[in-house]
Amino acid sequence: MIKLYGVAVSNYFSSAKAAFLEKNVEFEEITIFPSQDAAVLAQSPMGKVPWIEIGDEILTETNVIYDYLEDISPEPRLYPIDPWQRAKVKEIIRVIELYFDAPARRHIGAVYFGQEVDPSAKEQVRPAIENGLRALNHLALFSPYIAGETFTFADITAYFMLNFTQMHTTKIYGWDMIGDTPALKDYLDFIGDRESLKELTANMQAGFEALASK
């Protein structure tokens, strides 16, 4: 059985776990935090989560895990068959990762651990996310899913990465990024009703509460 390593508060781990659930692929979940400890680095070279283990083999990076799951379990499809449409799904995923999640991560210390806000990050992150929002509004179809008529890996990515970004924009800027974008809010409310995503959202919230209580 595939072992999936990570922790519920990680949006990337939750994205990978959602992919397993949507694909109906059996897995064993093993809770572990990202770390630069030697034991973690021996399995995940960057010390990040998630990663999967099959026998003695390790596979890291959420997008790579998506691709692997699609290959070993083609149905239900979470990438379109058509090469162009498949590429468009991957384009949306990359835009969300690079221009929402990545800049928002500069505020993780302040949002998660009560550290002082980095002034340069505060100045630079919001404009970067605003640019990402402009790009996403150009690419997203919301008809009803982000890339068209079917649920894809792009919807999983959007749900977890955009809600992650929202935590940071709200905390640092008092900016309701999602609420200020009605089409985006309606879309996230819509896909948030999926059973897999509701379950994982509850798990993440419990994880955040446990982290805050330490």
How many folded domains does the chain comprise?
2
Same domain, 13 and 107: no
Tens place of pLDDT per residue across the chain (214 aa): 999 999 999 999 999 999 999 999 999 999 999 999 999 999 999 999 999 999 999 999 999 999 999 999 999 999 999 999 999 999 999 999 999 999 999 999 999 888 999 999 999 999 999 999 999 999 999 999 999 999 999 999 999 999 999 999 999 999 999 999 999 999 999 999 999 999 899 888 888 777 666 6
Domain final residue, candidates 43, 72, 101: 72
Tokens of 206: 């419990």
Whether residues 68 and 87 share a domain: the answer is no
Q: Based on the domain organization, do 103 and 170 belong to the same domain?
A: yes
* pTM exceeds 0.85, yes or no: yes
> Beta strands of the chain (E only): which ranges?
2-6, 27-31, 51-54, 57-60
What is the four-CA torsion angle of 4, 188, 87, 200, rounded to 10 degrees?
Answer: 10
Query: Whole domain around residue 40: which residue ranges?
Result: 2-72
